[in-house]
Amino acid sequence: MYNSTSFFLEFMAVRIIIGAQWGDEGKGKIVDLLSAETKYVVRYQGGANAGHTLKFDDKTIVLHLIPSGMFNGNAKCVIGNGVVIDPIALIEEIEEVKKLDVDLKDRLYISSSAHVILPYHKVLDQLKEKSRGKDAIGTTGRGIGPAYVSKVSRIGIRMIDLLNEEQLEEKIKSNLADINKALEHIYGEEKLDTKTIMASLREAISITKPFIHNTTEILHNALENSEPILLEGAQGSLLDVDHGTYPYVTSSSPTAGGACTGSGIPPLSITHALGITKAYCTRVGNGPFPTELDDEEGEKLRKNGQEFGATTGRPRRCGWLDLVALKYAVRLNGMNELALTKLDVLDDFETIKVCTHYIKDGNETHVFPLDADDVDELKPVYKTFPGWNRSTRDISSFSDLPEKAQEYIHFIEDFIGVKFTIVSTGPKRNETIRR
């Protein structure tokens, strides 16, 4: 029940949805769920490296660039300035969405300032990864890092450039001069050609043109009219280029600050930061993962949770919930609400563990390690819970959860100091507890 004050707050809510782990926390489902209660859903960083899976009715769709707010209610969906857009991936996705009978007119808005991923970014991403050998980051190969390099080097192509093909061709030609030197002389690869790239872009340009806008202005007007906004993060806090496990990170800022720079929404307008965490941990790609399980229990988490990448199909690394890492993400983002996803994956475990701290050099530590080398010396210390051995699938009221599952959730809340306002017990909208 709303009282008048909470209704007012909810009405003007500007809520960031942020992954509290290494991505794949189930943000897509939560954004889809909450999008019926908002006017705008805004993706603010990353690109088609993300894979946000939505299941509703008998349909499943994986979105990579289009915000997850298209299918529940009528929110306007904005691809913000902080996103890097592969126009060819985008038009494929537009087609997929249209097949589900969604009319994108007046629903999809693409920032004119968002940067474009070009074929050379993808080629460079894949070649650089290969050259790293055993130190590979495990990127998705979608050109994300090189596109952000172009952006900060001030040689990037932006969506607004697609509106002037003559100038676009000139800019691509100028960029290729350097890139081709690298392709030929560093990697021993074939040169790329401006005309071929232009030809590959033409269809995408004509389809995306009507959706390109000054989205900062649109969002500022929404704020002035006190309209609720949902900001949809991709990847997760521990993959943040500044605050994650560098260099095993993505090249953008999934954390709360990135939501402001990636949309043009000022920090003081943000009212809620909702962190999404699985009831266990996963990571795809290389890099530190203190609670990783290399045994039967890890395999069982992967099997129960169907832990295979939504974008690349790679098997995800699995392990127990790391409360040191979760607390770090909560502090980093100022999360004032949490959502717990995939609780049902733990239903048939005899015992369930959570890491409460680590031992390093014989001493207790409660600090999440940011340096890859530090992690090798860390030993996670666990608290063990008895499993509930009952299906939680489909349960939509907290009091209907097995008592042991309630105890597990309460322990995490007390440890972190933030409440789970949402508990997800399956991939579909109705398999959700709201508190």
**Which residues on adjacent β-strands are paired with residue 187?**
none
- Residues tagged active-site: 24, 52
According to CB under 6 A, which one of 15, 18, 20, 24 is a site residue for ligand IMP?
24
Q: Which sign, positive or negative, has the C-alpha torsion 412, 417, 423, 427?
A: negative
**DSSP calls for 411-424:** HHHHHHT--EEEEE
Residue 232 Cβ, how far from ligand IMP at the closest point, in Å? 12
Q: Judge whether 286 and 79 are in contact, CB under 8 Å.
A: no
Region 47-66 residues binding ligand IMP, contact defined as CB under 6 A: 49-51
d(CA 241, CA 77): 25
Instruction: Return the residue nearest ligand IMP (CB atom).
Output: 285
Q: Tell me the window of 183-191, 231-239, 258-266, 395-403 that interacts with ligand IMP (CB under 6 A).
A: 231-239
Nearer to ligand IMP among residue 28 and residue 228 (C-beta): 28
* Size of the residue set binding ligand IMP (CB under 6 A): 21
Nearer to ligand IMP among residue 205 and residue 241 (C-beta): 241
Residue 151 Cβ, how far from ligand IMP at the closest point, in Å? 14
Region 79-138 residues binding ligand IMP, contact defined as CB under 6 A: 137-138
The mark string for 134-163 relative to ligand IMP (x by CB under 6 A, - otherwise) is: ---xxxx-x-xx------------------
Region 281-310 residues binding ligand IMP, contact defined as CB under 6 A: 284-285
Count the Cβ atoms, other than its own, within 10 Å of residue 217: 10
Q: Residue 123, Cα to own-chain centre: how many angstroms?
A: 23
Residue 140 Cβ, how far from ligand IMP at the closest point, in Å? 3
Q: For tokens 């809510």, name the residue.
A: 13
The letter for the amino acid at 287 is: G
Tokens of 183: 């392709």
77 binds ligand IMP (CB under 6 A): no
d(CA 106, CA 113): 19
344 binds ligand IMP (CB under 6 A): no
In 3-state terms, what secondary structure has residue 371? coil
The mark string for 31-50 relative to ligand IMP (x by CB under 6 A, - otherwise) is: ------------------xx
- Closest to 350 measured CA to CA, from 404, 409, 287, 392: 404
Q: Residue 199, Cα to own-chain centre: how many angstroms?
A: 31
Residue 17 Cβ, how far from ligand IMP at the closest point, in Å? 14
Residue 194 Cβ, how far from ligand IMP at the closest point, in Å? 25
235 binds ligand IMP (CB under 6 A): yes
Residues whose CB is less than 8 angstroms from the CB of residue 284 and which lie 6 or more positions away in sequence, other chains included: 22, 23, 24, 138, 309, 312, 314, 316, 317
Nearer to ligand IMP among residue 21 and residue 175 (C-beta): 21
Residues whose CB is less than 8 angstroms from the CB of residue 107 and which lie 6 or more positions away in sequence, other chains included: 70, 74, 75, 76, 77
The region, left, alpha or beta by phi > 0 then psi within -120 to 50, assigned to residue 32 is alpha
Binding site for ligand IMP (CB under 6 A): 22-24, 49-51, 137-140, 142, 144-145, 234-235, 239, 248, 250-251, 284-285
